[in-house]
Amino acid sequence: MTIDSQSLEAGHICLSIVAVIILYAVLLIVFVTYSLFFLLYSHVPGPRLCKLSRHWVTFFDLRRQRPEKVAEWLVKYRLIIHVALVEVSIADSFAMRDIYSSSRRHEKSHYFDHFMTHNERSISADIEDRMRGWVVAVLDRIERQLACTESIDIFPLFSHFTWENFTSLLWNNARFNLPPVYKLGKLIGMVFTRFRNTQRISGAASDLNIPLNHSLLRRLHELEYVDGKTLSSDYITCGVLDNLHAAQATVTVSLTYVLYYLSRNAEWQDRSMEEIDGLPKEVDGFPSFATINAAPILEACIRKAYRLNLGSSGRAERAISFGKKYAGVFLPENIIVSASTIAFHYNATVFPSPSMFDPNRWLETSPEQLRTQGMMFIPFGYAARFCLGKAFATLEIKPPVAALYLRYSTHVDESTGMTTKESMRQAGTQDVLLKRFKMRHSFRKAYLDDRESTS
């Protein structure tokens, strides 16, 4: 080979490389221009990177910061913003009420596995008794732990109890059905096979010791569509796991934050205690659920905790079935919309100094302001697909909180350094678990005893 032909070849290679680079650059420019200016949804405001790639929001997802990030963009850009290629998020209350309303019939997006159990879930009349048993078990556990230590990590405590009693409710007849459910629950954390789950579920469903009308699983297996088809085992298994998840982390997280805020706000803790203390007691020493549920101060404190920290991820996505203009922005058909719960709950116009824990917002407020606040308050979603478990969640949250404060006062245990602002930060998209689960609370038995001895 001569020098000439060698350099000629090198020249060719260079040219080809340059050509490829130019081609890519042109394609990139076309892609960026098209994405930013010509797509059906290009006009929706929002971070440019979100229009170019769905991975920009994924990046925050992986860092478990998606909900906060979306809320931050909503403040920065507008009430309706782009978060990924075909996804928008909203903080406009008119748009929210319209999109989630029953009359609109926008489907949940593919993000959800659909729940099929809801029309069939029967909650038996003995539910309050079950809860009282639960409350006693929680207090016993605390009592036993306090014998060895002064402060208790409450997250695992609540997590344990929400598992057990939710599962017992779902299967209704706890004695026969809890073992497979327990195993199922444990399996979720492990590498589990579809096969084993299906086996366990059909095992539980075919347990003939349980009367048909007590076994939700059996009823699901026996359900028939008009054309005679039944639900597949996979479908039922998936529904069961989804429900367990919907019910367990949400309630654990909510209980944890209710206790956290009451522990940090001595004044509200005292007021709640006084209120609970003044309620009429049943024979077992605890007020009835109806009276606890009607107690306004406890309700205001719990609302406040729901507002400040979400029990659910806020990814209530809907694929909208027809285009419409909201807050000046046209949203085309099939785009995926979700209301950012954080943006609603931290809207400074409606909730001035939004990060402050101030239950008075729900107590000493004009009816007009209450109405405005109510419209922005969506911890359990809104309208058509509102949380089906809200009543049960309330039953799991209020009685233990009331019982706890009948017996103890609580404080965040600062001495261990485990409970910090950072450890209490919520992280996640699928769930909204705390960044770190450790949360030491010191429980003091002082309160009522003190009062009794001084009065």
Ligand X SMILES: *[C@@H]1O[C@H](CO)[C@@H](O)[C@H](O)[C@H]1NC(C)=O
The binding site for heme consists of 387
Nearest CA to 236 out of 356, 373, 367, 121 is that of: 121
Within residues 176-215, the interface with ligand HEM by CB under 6 A covers: none
Taking CB under 6 A as the rule, does residue 401 contact ligand HEM?
no
Q: Which helix (H) or strand (E) holds 331?
A: strand 329-331
With beta carbons less than 8 A apart as the criterion, state whether 247 and 162 touch. Answer: yes
62-74 in b/e form (b: 16+ CB < 10 A) is eebbbbbbbbbbb
Taking CB under 6 A as the rule, does residue 350 contact ligand X?
yes
Residue 379 interacts with which of ligand HEM, ligand X, none, CB < 5 to 8 Å by class: ligand HEM
Residue 56 interacts with which of ligand X, ligand HEM, none, CB < 5 to 8 Å by class: none
Tokens in use for 325? 């203009």
Within residues 240-299, the interface with ligand HEM by CB under 6 A covers: 243, 246-247, 250-251, 254
The single-letter code of the amino acid at 417 is: G
Residue 405 interacts with which of ligand X, ligand HEM, none, CB < 5 to 8 Å by class: none
Taking CB under 6 A as the rule, does residue 96 contact ligand HEM?
no
Residue among 153 and 270 whose Cβ is closer to ligand X: 153
Query: What whole-number distance in Å separates Cα of residue 67 and Cα of residue 316?
Result: 11
Any idea what DSSP says for residue 113?
P
Please, what is the Cα angle at 256 between 251 and 261, to 5 degrees?
A: 125
Among 76, 118, 175, 451, binds ligand HEM (CB under 6 A): 118
Query: What percent helix, strand, coil does the chain show, rounded to 5?
Result: 55, 10, 35
Residue 350 interacts with which of ligand X, ligand HEM, none, CB < 5 to 8 Å by class: ligand X
Least distance from C-beta 86 to ligand X, angstroms? 23
Residue among 18 and 348 whose Cβ is closer to ligand X: 348
Residue among 75 and 238 whose Cβ is closer to ligand X: 75
Tokens in use for 351? 């909730």
Least distance from C-beta 135 to ligand X, angstroms? 8
Residue among 295 and 387 whose Cβ is closer to ligand HEM: 387
The single-letter code of the amino acid at 118 is: H
Within residues 124-143, the interface with ligand X by CB under 6 A covers: 130, 133-134, 137
Within residues 426-455, the interface with ligand HEM by CB under 6 A covers: none
Among 165, 167, 250, 256, binds ligand X (CB under 6 A): 165
CA–centroid distance for 142 within its chain: 26
Please, what is the Cα angle at 34 between 30 and 39, to 5 degrees?
A: 165
Residue 292 interacts with which of ligand HEM, ligand X, none, CB < 5 to 8 Å by class: none
With beta carbons less than 8 A apart as the criterion, state whether 450 and 407 touch. Answer: no
Taking CB under 6 A as the rule, does residue 399 contact ligand HEM?
no
Contact mark string toward ligand HEM, 364..383, x via CB under 6 A: ---------------xxx--
Taking CB under 6 A as the rule, does residue 339 contact ligand X?
no
Please provide the size of the chain in residues.
Answer: 455
256-274 in b/e form (b: 16+ CB < 10 A) is bbbbbbbbebeebbebbbe
Q: Where does this chain touch ligand HEM (CB under 6 A) — which range of 127-135, 226-234, 258-266, 311-319?
A: 311-319
Listing DSSP states for 52-74 in one string gives: H-THHHHHHHHTT-HHHHHHHHH
The footprint of ligand X (CB under 6 A) covers: 75, 79, 91, 93, 130, 133-134, 137, 161, 164-165, 168, 211, 213, 343, 347, 349-350
